[in-house]
Amino acid sequence: MGGGGQQTEPAEPGSGKASGVYTWEEVQKHCSRNDQWLVVNRKVYNITQWAKRHPGGSRVIGHYAGEDATEAFTAFHPDRKFVQKFLKPLLVGELAVTEPSQDRKKNAAIIKDFETLRTQVEKEELFKAKPLFFCLHLGHILLLEALAWLMVTYWGTSWTMTLLCALMLATSQSQAGWLQHDFGHLSVFKKSKWNHLVHKFVIGHLKGASANWWNHRHFQHHAKPNLLKKDPDVNMLAFFVLGKTQPVEYGIKKIKHMPYNHQHKYFFLVGPPLLIPIYFHMQIMNTMITRRDWVDLAWSLSYYFRYFCCYSPLYGFLGSFALMMFVRFLESHWFVWVTQMNHIPMEIEYEENQDWLTMQLQATCNIEQSLFNDWFSGHLNFQIEHHLFPMMPRHNYHLVAPQVRAMCEKHGVPYEIKSLWRGMADVVSSLKTSGELWLDAYLHK
């Protein structure tokens, strides 16, 4: 059914023929796994068959099935004209002239103002990276790696030297994690292919992980942050219940996989210590092998080959393996606290179909700026600005932050900033609150 009461026949998937005009009601019907339409700049596309070939993964684009994806499309694609050639064959029509450009609860005024802000930011060249910044960052990672090995090589493998070595390697691994994040978001080079290539080197050779695994997982988080069943970062595999809605649901259904009223306590045992060395490691290896991602597997194996060649002569194979796991144990604590303090204490709900700025601000908060906080978190203390402009080089977040804050104040959107310690404490307190909601629902509802 097209706009104005006209009957139209939908185009065949991939035909590229715009056969009619559609209402939002019609578009929203195409939101199942086997029938997916979305809207970009008022154009309606049938992505059902093409989603499997989407470079960012089928899930991230599928999360926008039946919706307007204009803001997400703009946020994730540096060369939108290039991407248009892939969209053109998928075109099935456009929105009726009587239909608004935004769907459902999205705020038209916020969308317009944010588009204006993005245009202004582009004119100020805040999407332009400083090569020296990233070269120095890579340099300090490689320096830490080299010094850690040289220290135990020349000064021996005593417990003291081994502990210092582990701390240096954990620091190097954590900082490499923030650096791969930069390249993964295409925020360093103008050409995407160079970002992709260096991303594989940093996450693969320096960390032993997979670029494609990271891309397919992380961009879902950015596309739909803190949304249950869409953001993999809030899929806790029944170990934890998050927010205010999920705990009550579990309680009413009498689901008790874990004693959730104590989750703020056992979080210290199964969260920070195990995420990277156990869960992520198993998931990464399984993903590369099952998807036959031999390129990423080769990059990953090059890390292990280099590591064991360096440390097996000093510690033996088992000793080297134990050192590596201890390093990942330390890194995992660093990673979990930095990434979760921006999100877990914030709103965690099901899909609410909100505009880009409102959705991102409800799911993120900032941590106070300082030289240490910037370095320690890889500038993810500016989580709000990063989520609004994921392709922006991190050294420019502080420049756009005042403009973002002013826009939030204009539209009454909360813009939250915390101290580093407050952010970490809020992770625990929010888990405690969610656990109490679960217990109350479990016992009384």
pLDDT of residue 356: 97
For residues 15 and 91, give the distance between their C-alpha atoms in angstroms, rounded to a whole number. Answer: 8
pLDDT tens, residue by residue, 298-353: 999 999 999 999 999 999 999 999 999 999 999 999 999 999 999 999 999 999 99
DSSP state, residue 90: G
Nearest to residue 432, comparing CAs of 221, 272, 224, 268?
268
* Portion of the chain with pLDDT greater than 90, in percent: 89
| DSSP H or E stretch at residue 417 | strand 417-418
pLDDT category at 10 given cuts 50, 70, 90 is low
pLDDT of residue 18: 59
* Between 82 and 240, the higher pLDDT residue: 240
pLDDT at 292 over 70: yes
Domains of the chain are 20-104 (3.10.120.10)
pLDDT tens, residue by residue, 40-92: 999 999 999 999 889 888 999 999 999 999 999 999 999 888 888 889 999 99
Instruction: State the average pLDDT for the chain.
Output: 93
What is the Cα gyration radius of the chain? 23
Query: Is the CB of residue 403 less than 8 Å from the CB of residue 388?
Result: no
pLDDT category at 445 given cuts 50, 70, 90 is confident
Q: What angle do CA 223, 224, 230 make, to 5 degrees?
A: 120
Query: Is the CB of residue 291 less than 8 Å from the CB of residue 212?
Result: yes
